[in-house]
Every structure is written in C-alpha cells, then in structure tokens.
Amino acid sequence: MKKNIFTLLLLSLFTHAFAQLQTGENVAVTSTESGKVRGYINNGIRTYKGIPYAQAARFMPPAKTKAWTGVRSSMTYGPVCPLVDPTTSVQDESEFLFHHDWGYTSEECLVLNVWTPGINDGKKRPVMFWIHGGGFTAGSSQELPSYDGENLSKKGDVVVVSINHRLNILGFLDLSAYGEQYKQSANLSILDMAAALEWVKANISNFGGDPNNVTIFGQSGGGAKVNTLMAMPAAKGLFHKAVNQSGSFRTAMLEKSETQRIAAEVLKQLGLKPEQVDSLQKMPYAQLAGAGKKALNIIAEQMRAEGKPVVGFGLSWGPSRDGDVLPYQLFSNEAFELSKNIPLLLGTTKNEFMPSLGAGLSNGTAEQVRELVQKQYGDKADAYTAAVKKAYPKDTKPSDLIDIDTRFRPGAVVQANLKSAVAGGASVYMYLFAWQSPTLDGKYKATHCMELPFMFNNIARCQEMTGGGKTAEVLAGKMSQAWINFARTGNPNHPGLPKWAAYTAKNTTTMFFDNQCVVKPQHDKELMELATPK
C-alpha cells in the first residue's frame, strides 16, 4: 500500500512539473530593453504574444517603443494593421480549410510573438523569424493556425518569432515630394520589419536565442518581403539565412516617379493641396484607404495606356525603389551582391492559385478544361498542354491540366538561377511541394499555403487543410526538420530525406516534397518558358 501511495505521489509531482499549461504572475518572466514581459508555458514552450517592438506615428519611421514599469502581460496576440477591404463575409468551403483568425485592428500594430524552449538559460538557439503573407496589403502573424510556432520551437529547439507591421497605404504611401519628414514614407512597412529584426538583435538572448543566427522566412507576400529585406542595405547583418516560400512573383518594384504619382492622385481624390498633406495624419483610415484604392486604379489605367508594365499581379501597395531605404531593384546585380553570403531556400507549391476553383471545374470534363486552356493560351494552347503533360505525366484528372502553377514558380526559377550564379555566393536550395491534400475529395490539391502546416509541424492544428493523419505527419516531420536544419546550419539535409544538393542553373536540383520525397533536375523547363513573361 505504501509503495502504491509513493508511486502515485511521484506521478503527481512528475505531472505537475511537466504540466501542459503553466500560467501565473511569476511564470515565463524575462526582460526586454523596454521592460519585463510575462508569457505562459505550454508543452514546455514559453510563449509571448503582442510584445511591442517599436512605435510610430502615421507615415513616420518606426522608433524604439517607450519603456514600461512592472511586468507586461504578453499572453494574447496584439493588434493587426487595418485593412483596405475588411473581411465581412467568407466563402464557406474554403474558409473551412484556411480557418482564419482575423484579429482586431489598430494602427499601433508593431508587435511580435515569441516561442522558445527556454529563457535566461545562456543557450544560443537558432532564431526563425516568420513574416506573414497577404501580399503587402493584408494578413497578420496570427491569421492562419499554421503560423503557431510552438511545435516548430519544440521539435527543433529553436526560437520562433513572428511579427505584425504596417501594410497597404499606411506602409507604402510615398509622400516624399511633400517634405523631408516624409522622406522614407514609401517603405515604412519594410522599415518596420528591420526594426523588428533590430529588436531581435537586442533582446532575443533573453529568450534563449542567438542574435547571430537569425533566419528570415515567409510565404507568399511574406516571401516577397524576404526578398525585399535581402535587397535592403540597412538590414544587412540583421539576418543570416533566408527562406522564400511562393514569394518570387514580384521580381521588380515601382520607381519613385511612379509612387509619387500615386500619392499625388491620393491627394487629388481627397481634394487636398500639397500644403495640406499633413492633414493625412489625422484623417479617418477608411477615408484615406478609399482614396488610395481609387488612386491605384487610376494610375494603373494610365500606366497601361502609356505602355508601362504594372508589377506583380496588378498595381497595389508595396515596396518601391526609393533610392534611400531600397536603392536597388530586387533582382539587380547590386541586390544579389548585397545578399551574396545569405544561404537561400526557396520554392513553391505544385498548384498554388488553382484556376479550377474559380471556374467551377474541379470535376470538369476534359472538353471543358480544353476550352479554358484555349481561351487562356490561344495559339499556344497545344504547346501548353504538351508541356504540362511532359512535366506531370502521372496526372490524370482533367482539372490537373489547368491547376499546375504558372504564376509563382517562374519567378522562383529565375531567382534561383540568378542567386546561385553569384560568384562565391552562399548556397541555394530549391523545392517543389507536390503533396495533394485529401480534404474535400482532394479538391484543393497542393494549393497556395498548403505547405505551411508541414514546415511548421502543425498537421493536427490544421487538420481541416491537411486531413490530418499519419501520412501527413510523416511528411511534416521531414519538412519541418529540413527548415530547422537550414536555420541551424544553412543546409536543409537530414537523414530522413534523399541527398539534396545545392541548386545551380546547370544541375537545377529540386527537392519534391510528397509522400515519397525525391530529388531530380528541373522537370518543367518547357512549361516555365511558356509561362515566363518575355
């Protein structure tokens, strides 16, 4: 009897010591430059949310946040940047997959989140600095359940950081023509990201992280932000490795002449004279954003009429070559030289933005799909069909023909070729995420964002998207370990994967993430040639 009581006591103590959730006034307390913060512990991971990393008045550069007294409770996500088009309704089926958390909005949105296995322990863990998607106009660090950093931190003994920053007109309205105080206003969003990296450099040691081993990684718009930071001189030295997931769709930026033109149209839409520009600082956000939306449409029409290219998927808010914060075009020789010593891991998903969804052809007939291909590609329809079938000979569903991504991958291939060609430069590793989700009868395939639950090791958390289950868990183990190893050493290889050689334009080595991971040369050269703008 005594033995049983002793055993139960030990079990109780063991369970309490490793309680799944620990909270309290003295739990997970550590210091920052601005003051102490308190988080919570879940599954052994210290979690902090909504910590201010900077502060900024509207259209002004970020500055260090004001200090606070006492211990700041940091247990829930902070505010997200206001959106030009707030979400007021959703498409039921796709929302089931993505399961967004829209959060609450405020212009005081310069906050970050941290997940770490230990604090104040003298360890120097790799830091994985996540930048959310949503283009440069929407999104947040909490928007998708896959973004939660707990499992990645626990699996890899790494520190995961994610950030919110200014977006859309708040982050990119170029008022530089109207006064020196607005000199950097065209790229405030990018300055926010650099300020968050400065915060990491100054504070992450207290969270068990190594400020000299920081990997920036992001998907979609977040991947484009990674590319932008690699072209930013002031960010050099703040990060040491980079991962771009589906983010090479924007290979060029607007120039100052164009962004100042947009700003002039914003003033015109608001009925303001140049000397009244300061009134923008106190204008209701909805009024400001509405004028910005109209201005972008007007300038886009004018640019097309003038025969000028509209970058990305259409004229929208985003970074520009202002000659100050961003002096070089993204894919210029100068930008690649600046990031010469930064190892890069990049890739896309097989299906990304799937035309079958919008066209209602998920279960379309071969004839219906051929009609759409003919409409989209005209006299190149036969060449396109042949190129897809050559690249993916095992695909049999009619909609597979139109669902192969040709919007994101071409830019990724261009970037991989250019980056790997820099003499004496760091390694480049290329991947393609080909795994097909079984959710909703396999309708969503390897759609945009599908890789996120895998590299964050969040299959169960994102079972609506992945279907959950052992098969997905196995692939998530392989992918998340590759990202962890890359963050640790700059090389994603590990025993669970076939040997993954660094990419060059000659060997075109690409890792295909699927139920069976394989490495092979580029398989879709003809398709990419058709898809890449000449």
Please give the Cα distance from 164 to 249 (Å, whole number).
22
Q: Would residue 256 count as lying in a domain? A: no
Q: Which two tokens stand for residue 510?
A: 């690409």
Check 132, 165, 240, 448 and give the catalytic one: 448
Check 141, 176, 185, 220 and give the catalytic one: 220
What pLDDT does residue 265 have? 98
Q: What is the pLDDT of residues 75-97, one digit of tens each?
A: 999 999 999 999 999 999 999 99
Q: What is the pLDDT of residues 369-379, one digit of tens each?
A: 999 999 999 99
The angle, 0 to 180 degrees and rounded to 10, between the axes of the packed helices 256-270 and 285-305 is 130
The residue type of 208 is: G
pLDDT band at 11 (very low <50, low <70, confident <90, very high): very low
pLDDT band at 5 (very low <50, low <70, confident <90, very high): low
What pLDDT does residue 12 have? 47
> Per-residue pLDDT for 344 more than 70?
yes
Instruction: Please give, one letter per residue, the 3-state secondary structure of 31-59.
Output: EECCEEEECEEECCEEEEEEEECCECCCC
Q: What is the DSSP string of 240-293?
A: SEEEEES--S----EEHHHHHHHHHHHHHHHT--GGGGGGGGGS-HHHHHHHHH
Q: Would residue 377 count as lying in a domain? A: yes
Check if 220 is active-site: yes
What pLDDT does residue 13 have? 47
Q: What is the DSSP string of 212-229?
A: EEEEEEEETHHHHHHHHH
> Per-residue pLDDT for 10 more than 90?
no
Q: Would residue 369 count as lying in a domain? A: yes
> Per-residue pLDDT for 162 more than 50?
yes
Domain count, the chain: 1
Check if 93 is active-site: no
Q: Would residue 286 count as lying in a domain? A: no
Helices (H) and strands (E) in the chain, counts: 19, 17
> Per-residue pLDDT for 2 more than 70?
no
Q: Would residue 383 count as lying in a domain? A: yes
pLDDT band at 504 (very low <50, low <70, confident <90, very high): very high
Q: What is the pLDDT of residues 193-233, one digit of tens each?
A: 999 999 999 999 999 999 999 999 999 999 999 999 999 99
pLDDT band at 531 (very low <50, low <70, confident <90, very high): confident
> Per-residue pLDDT for 181 more than 80?
yes
**Percentage of the chain surpassing pLDDT 70?**
96
Nearest alpha-carbon partner for 413 in 491, 530, 534, 525: 525
25: number of Cβ within 10 Å:
8
Among the residue ranges 17-31, 160-174, 248-262, 420-434, the one predicted with the least confidence is: 17-31
The residue type of 223 is: G
- Please state the rounded mean pLDDT for residues 334-362: 97
Containing domain of residue 385, as a range?
A: 365-404
Q: Would residue 528 count as lying in a domain? A: no
Please give the Cα distance from 226 to 357 (Å, whole number).
29
Check if 99 is active-site: no
> Per-residue pLDDT for 101 more than 90?
yes
Q: Would residue 224 count as lying in a domain? A: no
- Please state the rounded mean pLDDT for residues 102-120: 97
Please give the Cα distance from 419 to 421 (Å, whole number).
5
Q: Would residue 389 count as lying in a domain? A: yes
Tokens 């949105």, residue located = 109
Check 352, 356, 427, 437 and give the catalytic one: 352
